[in-house]
Amino acid sequence: MNETPLKILFLASEVVPFAKTGGLADVAGALPKALKEMGHDIRVAMPGYGFINREKFGIRDFLAELTVPMNGRTETASILETNIGTVPVYMVNSAKYYDREGIYMYHDDADRFVFFCRAMMEMVKKIDWAPDILHCNDWHTAIIPNWLNTIYKDDPFYKQTASVYSIHNLAYQGVFGQRVLEIAGIDKYQFMVPPGVSPDNHINMMGRGIFFADLVNTVSETYAEEILTPEYGQGFDWLLRERRDRLYGILNGIDYEIQNPATDPHIDHHYDLHNLEAKAENKTALQREAGLGLEKHTPLIGMISRLSDQKGFDLIGQVIEGMMENLDFQFILLGTGEEYYHNLFSSIKTRFPDRSAVYLTFNAPLAQKIYAGTDMFLMPSRFEPCGLGQLIAMRYGSVPIVRETGGLKDTVCNYNPVTDNGNGFTFKKYDAMAMYTAIVRAIETYHYQDRWRTLVHRGMAGDFSWHNSAQKYVGLYRRALNVRAYHPIPNEYMNVPS
């Protein structure tokens, strides 16, 4: 590395391997490792949820007592420390806020995540480690760019610190009442923010992140374009268009150490590009475990997903019965989410017991077995900021069938039987018949085994590691420092009204 290493604090509400509900955790567990390997001083911060096993992860005490300003008073936290590889991880410990069974959906989520952010802002001061970059992710940490332009604006400690705000999913915005500004200690500043970002009666954390961050990015180039339109902008397309010169798209990678069929401890038979027979053995093992017919030559289609409309389940709902009746394939689903879909897939399982398997739970080891044991991976999302499922599937030789949107469009290229190009099957329109047609094409192609093997190979040989994207993040961080120094957010939005 010929430029000076950066000091980066990466803040996220969920981080693999400690706590995960979706792709954000995968990113938070992998991107910092890649940046560390490049020589940067990157540290990760997250809440110390009570369910995290301290012994298993070698979690140690780091700071016994930290004073955290909250709601016009002060509270205390302690800080714990562990590592992901050689990356230090700080966990904000507070029984009051984090000793719960889950990560989200509590009545005091605003307090919980503001407290986490404030504790970290104060902790780095206490240990005298001034980050060049505060890398904030999704609404949970969106208050930080706002603080850098208000309460910490004149703090010499943060004089050289810039913020980068990453949008992993624009649909979850963190909308609260005015009280959140009091908790965060910035109620005096509320009138300085444009109305769309904070309408009179509610505060939108995501909007504040986008508005105040020195640079904003999202997790694929296509999604970064799509969110400028009303169809994908979730009410913020106007603000993102206004911030267009500060908005970037950087594709997520996956952790090639963890997501590796040659070493994955959760799968029965290890394999790589040159040993695909073992993939077939994983298929048989999965069929056995899931109670499916042990049919070698019937394509097995998998899905691993949150069960929500975003992921295209309304399309599946429209045609799944017809598909099961008319097409020769097996289907396995792992997911949790909306009750409607729990009922739908339970009834599919009842009707087609040896051709479908349905697991309505979150189960990381089973997910790996499904990536390894399936022939195809279905992801017909309505919108998809990046999508990791299709990347993991390709790494494990499961051919993706996806809708051309967001990161799915940037990573999966439609198979063309004439030119023999492509690494999966895609469709454009958000429409059940368009999806059905893509599935039929995949099933037909599967029976031409030579061609299918080429497709499997192509997916497995693709490079979706963090290597390239981590370099792009470094470029983004350096640009953010430049923006902070020369093009700060205009003063009129930051001064305290007299």
E strands present in 177-317:
203-204, 215-218, 247-249, 300-307
Cis peptide bond prior to 17, omega within 30° of 0: yes
- Here's the x/- map for ligand ADP, 191-230, by CB under 6 A: it reads as ----------------------------------------
Q: How far is CA 475 from CA 6, 167, 470, 472, 488, in A?
A: 11, 17, 9, 5, 18
Q: Find the shortest distance in angstroms from Cβ 407 to ligand ADP.
A: 8
Nearer to ligand ADP, 131 or 249 (CB): 249
Does the protein bind ligand ADP through residue 305 (CB under 6 A)? Answer: yes
Work out which of 389, 400, 422, 459 binds ligand ADP, going by CB under 6 A: 389
Q: Are strands 203-204 and 175-176 parallel, antiparallel or unpaired?
A: antiparallel
Q: Find the shortest distance in angstroms from Cβ 79 to ligand ADP.
A: 27
Question: What is the rounded radius of gyration, in angstroms, for the C-alpha atoms of the chain?
Answer: 23
Q: Find the shortest distance in angstroms from Cβ 347 to ligand ADP.
A: 19
Work out which of 6, 14, 18, 26 binds ligand ADP, going by CB under 6 A: 26
The tokens for 189 are: 């500043």
Q: Find the shortest distance in angstroms from Cβ 254 to ligand ADP.
A: 8
What is the helix, strand, coil percentage profile of the chain, to 5? 40, 20, 40
Q: Find the shortest distance in angstroms from Cβ 45 to ligand ADP.
A: 20
Does the protein bind ligand ADP through residue 304 (CB under 6 A)? Answer: yes
- Please answer whether residues 428 and 402 qualify as being in contact, where contact means their C-beta atoms are separated by less than 8 angstroms: no
Q: Which residues contact 92 (CB under 8 A, 6 or more apart)?
A: 45, 46, 47, 48, 77, 79, 98, 115, 116, 119, 120, 123
Does the protein bind ligand ADP through residue 367 (CB under 6 A)? Answer: yes
Nearer to ligand ADP, 133 or 402 (CB): 402
Work out which of 23, 32, 261, 373 binds ligand ADP, going by CB under 6 A: 23
Nearer to ligand ADP, 26 or 404 (CB): 26
Does the protein bind ligand ADP through residue 363 (CB under 6 A)? Answer: yes
Does the protein bind ligand ADP through residue 335 (CB under 6 A)? Answer: yes
Nearer to ligand ADP, 183 or 402 (CB): 402
Say which amino acid occupies 140. H
d(CA 283, CA 267): 10
Comparing C-alpha atoms, which of 359, 363, 370 is closest to residue 261?
370
E strands present in 241-371:
247-249, 300-307, 330-337, 356-359
The tokens for 13 are: 């509400």
Nearer to ligand ADP, 22 or 317 (CB): 22
Angle (nearest 5°) at CA 193 between 120 and 243: 85
The one segment of 64-72, 146-154, 223-231, 357-365 that binds ligand ADP by CB under 6 A: 357-365
Q: Find the shortest distance in angstroms from Cβ 363 to ligand ADP.
A: 5
Q: Find the shortest distance in angstroms from Cβ 454 to ligand ADP.
A: 25
Nearer to ligand ADP, 28 or 460 (CB): 28
The tokens for 286 are: 């999965």
Does the protein bind ligand ADP through residue 336 (CB under 6 A)? Answer: yes
The one segment of 22-30, 113-121, 233-241, 454-462 that binds ligand ADP by CB under 6 A: 22-30
Does the protein bind ligand ADP through residue 312 (CB under 6 A)? Answer: no
Say which amino acid occupies 433. M
The tokens for 339 are: 């009750």
Q: How many residues bind ligand ADP (CB under 6 A)?
A: 19
Nearer to ligand ADP, 82 or 220 (CB): 220
Torsion sign over Cα 385, 486, 160, 93: negative
Rounded to 10 degrees, the C-alpha dihedral 118/386/27/228 comes to -30
d(CA 158, CA 184): 17
Does the protein bind ligand ADP through residue 364 (CB under 6 A)? Answer: yes
Count of alpha carbons within 13 Å of 22, Cβ hemisphere only?
A: 20
Q: Which residue is nearest to ligand ADP (CB)?
A: 23
Work out which of 29, 145, 174, 387 binds ligand ADP, going by CB under 6 A: 387
Nearer to ligand ADP, 178 or 346 (CB): 346
The tokens for 99 are: 């000793």
The one segment of 78-86, 110-118, 331-339, 343-351 that binds ligand ADP by CB under 6 A: 331-339
Nearer to ligand ADP, 151 or 219 (CB): 219
Task: List binders of ligand ADP among 99-158 (CB under 6 A).
Answer: none
Work out which of 134, 142, 186, 334 binds ligand ADP, going by CB under 6 A: 334
Comparing C-alpha atoms, which of 268, 272, 259, 334 is closest to residue 304?
334
Q: Which residues sit at the interface with ligand ADP, rule CB under 6 A?
A: 22-23, 26, 169, 304-306, 334-336, 362-364, 367, 386-389, 392
